[in-house]
Chain A
Amino acid sequence: MSRAFHFARLSIIRQPARSALGILGIAAIGALLFDMLLLSRGLVLSFREILDETGYDVRVLATDAPPGTGPQLTGAAALAESLAAIPEVEIALRMRVDDADAQAGSERARRITFVGADPRARSVWNVVSGRDLPAAPDGRAAVVVNRHLAARMKVGVGSILSITRECDSRAAMPALDFTVVGIADFPFDSATESTVAGAIEDADRLCGGEDPDRAEMMLVRSRPEAGAFAAAAAIRAAHPALYVVTNEQLVERFSRLQFSYFRQISTVLATVTLFFGFLLIAVLLTVSVNQRLGEIAALRAVGLSRTRVTAGVLWESVLLVALGGTLALPLGFALSAWLDRILRTLPGIPATMHFFVFEPRALGLYVLLLAAASLFAAAYPMRIVSVLPIAATLRREVVS
């Protein structure tokens, strides 16, 4: 077997033009295949990572409608206390999300998303400069803003933001002034979204207490010894009317519904790509074998066994695919980074969300698929070699 390998290696090294074309072709196809595998679960993995980074593993909503599209939770403060009292629950955080307008100085007002949360609980955003909301009120109401808003409205830590909200009564409410205490990254912000976070009580005040004590959802962190599923089950038992979902269930649901589009596209493209890879290798090897029928027949006449010459073709296929497949990895990574940048500019896509995410499983599957392609692609040329009639081929070669 090692001689067959050596022979195949020499065949590749000493026919550089043919080998280079084959390897480059496989590399291009391999890069696309690799990217499709990264895409097939990229959104799910990225979504999971964003959810986990918030530090909360269970979500409680009024219905199964996505946050912001369904009814709000009422009596949110009492509900949060009730949830926090459940033994499996460590923390419950109220969260309210409203559209509002913000103005800094004489700049014109801009549309923002106002996130109201309990400042005593761990926030879901990540402060990158300044500080987080104070746990207890200390003078003027405080907010943290995202980087996009800070850059767009030219505000920084210490700036004053005047915020107004359009309330249900359509009454024009006076603007409230907030001090920017920090700049933060918000996990689900898109690149062009302007987000401000303040205390949930301040969110209530923006409408003059018109619809107080409401929340879009409750973020719950389960106790480590209990786990998310036990916490969710306990919450469902205590509040059967509410929609309770763990991060894992949410990911599974998104994977099945919202993200299935990408999974299907990547599956179709990966299959097509793999088929082209198979065709490329098969054609390359078949042409190569057909060009060398005389040599192969001569080798058989000299005494090389059928297994030996067949193994040579298989090794050649494996080597071509291994070299092309390895070269495909850096190409695939570069291509995926480029495509990811393009896709992330789609409106409404969280800036921290990625479409192409590496996981060892994708690499394993990639190796497996390429290995299968190299074996299947080698099957036909191997058969040509295996059933080659030695005498007839030698005769034909001499006559031709």
Chain B
Amino acid sequence: MARLEPLGVLEAWVMDVVWRKGSVTARDVTEAQRGRRRAYTTIMTTMDRLHRKGLLSRTKDGLAWLYAAKLGRDDFERNLADQLASEIVASHGEVGLAAFVDATAKDAELLERLAELVEARRDEK
């Protein structure tokens, strides 16, 4: 899976339409607008960008492209959350986030030893 980027306002709205309707053309998305209307070309460009980001797949339907989401809404949000949370963990200490615990692979044995120590103290009391 390619690296997921957080969505911009228009991208999020377009993805919302695609998730609700399934397979859509840029014309379908343009016509689904209410209130402030974006130009057809703007929607087309946005959908092309989402395709290049790997979020939409597309097949030719006559002269138009038919777009569909590669991931469902839940899968997208879960994968994005995983990725963003990993970035937060990786950047911890860089600009002053305070994590409850940091750990490394070599800590596995240490954790067991400390757990035994905690148990021993519990038994003492």
Q: Do these two chains interact?
A: no
Name A's B-contacting residues (CB within 8 A). none
